[in-house]
């Protein structure tokens, strides 16, 4: 609380402001009394404490593109933070944009403060988790028996799953949120397409068409260049065939878009050198799934059109969480939110 600005001030009120028991005896000369009054030497009295408060206030403002913002470390860095007696206000302006990065985690983290502190987040900009990467397209490698090459297990080379989108805000401390902007999880990456192989032709050769690359995860911000703010999802790699043959091959998925568009990348398609995608008969590998837009899951990869053998396509990655630790949040205004809540 703040001591009265006029009238009498009791010793118990001063003790309460100093976080002491109400019956503790205080002295005008003690350091905490003088620090509260703001008079380190010279004459001092109870009237010197009128309107004084022992609490600290810290205002943090984000008005540009920022990566993986940590509120606690930012508050401590001001030099004004006092555990248990500080009111922290975080403001993201309309030009502020906070993105996440895979290794560093959520776009914004609010945790580590002490009971007695208060935290308020005013968001007028964007706080968005990173986009999940797309899955690699499925592929198979086979060399005609007797050539010294090894036949590899097809199951190892199914289309890979897309990665999940990242988290927007991670809370570990009670926070009041006034959201007039956008808070979102990243989009999930698209799954890689299925590979296939065809039946042997009359010359006993077997040909393979590989799956298309998984679509890039949508949503995350920026690129791998950290000063652009966060990470978009990367497109999954298309799978190439055994280079001695000329069936279809998978194309890479597109990367997710970022910083203003928030769209998932398209899944990679399949190029065929001959009709059907394979000289020995059979079809093309499946295309990769599209990455999800912010707060949306990625799409699964497509199966091949093989009539003989077909590996699994990859699943799409899950949508990211716009908030984790949501039990710590008090929503004064919800604004625009995309994704999951946990």
Judge contact between 210 and 195, C-beta under 8 A: yes
Token pair for 238: 């298309």
Q: CA 244, CA 25: separation in Å to the nearest integer?
A: 91
Q: What are phi and psi of 16, to 5 degrees?
A: -60, -40
CA angle 241, 198, 142 (to 5 degrees): 45
How many angstroms separate the Cα of 315 from the Cα of each of 190, 213, 215, 261? Answer: 7, 12, 11, 24
235-241 average pLDDT score = 52
Q: What is the pLDDT of residues 98-137, one digit of tens each?
A: 888 766 689 999 999 999 999 999 999 999 888 887 777 7
The predicted-structure confidence for 205-220, as pLDDT tens digits, reads as follows 444 444 555 544 444 4
Torsion sign over Cα 151, 154, 159, 164: negative
**Gap between the Cα atoms of 281 and 241, Å rounded:** 15
List, for residues 252-309, the tens digit of each pLDDT value: 555 655 544 555 555 555 544 433 323 223 345 677 787 888 888 988 887 766 555 5
- Residues 320-335: tens digit of each pLDDT: 999 999 999 999 999 9
What is the pLDDT confidence band of residue 251, given thresholds at 50, 70 and 90? low
Taking all residues of the chain, what is their mean pLDDT, rounded to a whole number?
Answer: 74
The sign of the dihedral angle between the CA atoms of 23, 28, 31, 33 is positive
Confidence of residue 20 (pLDDT cuts 50, 70, 90): confident
CB-based contacts of 9, cutoff 8 Å, min separation 6: 3, 46, 47, 49, 50
What pLDDT was estimated at residue 24? 84
Check residue 221 and give its pLDDT.
39
182 neighbors 97 (Cβ within 8 angstroms): no
């Amino acid at each position: 609380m703040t001591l009265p600005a006029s009238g009498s001030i009791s010793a118990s009120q001063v003790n309460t402001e100093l976080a002491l028991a109400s019956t503790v005896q205080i002295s005008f000369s003690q350091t905490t009394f003088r620090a509260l009054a703001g008079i380190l030497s010279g004459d001092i009295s109870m009237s010197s404490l009128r309107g004084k408060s022992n609490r600290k206030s810290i205002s943090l403002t984000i008005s540009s593109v920022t990566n993986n913002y940590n509120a606690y470390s930012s508050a401590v860095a001001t030099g004004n933070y006092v555990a248990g007696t500080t009111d922290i206000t975080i403001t993201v302006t309309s030009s502020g944009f906070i993105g996440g990065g895979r290794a560093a985690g959520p776009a914004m983290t609010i945790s580590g403060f002490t009971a007695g502190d208060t935290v308020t987040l005013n968001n007028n900009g964007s706080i968005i988790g990173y986009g999940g990467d797309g899955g690699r397209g499925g592929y198979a490698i086979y060399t005609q028996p007797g050539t010294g090459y090894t036949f590899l297990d097809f199951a190892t080379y199914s289309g890979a799953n897309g990665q999940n989108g990242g988290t927007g805000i991670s809370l570990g401390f009670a926070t009041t949120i006034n959201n007039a902007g956008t808070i979102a999880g990243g989009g999930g990456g698209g799954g890689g397409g299925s590979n296939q192989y065809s039946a042997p032709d009359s010359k006993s050769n077997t040909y393979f068409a590989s799956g298309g690359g998984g679509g890039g995860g949508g949503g995350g911000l920026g690129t791998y260049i950290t000063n652009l703010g966060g990470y978009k999802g990367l497109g999954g790699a298309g799978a190439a065939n055994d280079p001695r043959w000329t069936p279809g091959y998978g194309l890479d998925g597109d990367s997710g878009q970022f910083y203003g568009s928030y769209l998932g990348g398209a899944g990679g398609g399949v190029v065929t050198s001959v009709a059907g995608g394979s000289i020995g008969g059979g079809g093309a590998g499946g295309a990769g799934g599209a990455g999800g837009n912010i707060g949306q899951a990625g799409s699964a990869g497509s199966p091949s059109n093989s009539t003989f053998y077909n590996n699994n396509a990859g699943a799409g990655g899950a949508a990211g969480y716009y908030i984790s630790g949501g039990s710590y949040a008090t929503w004064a205004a919800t604004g625009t939110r995309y994704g999951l809540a946990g």
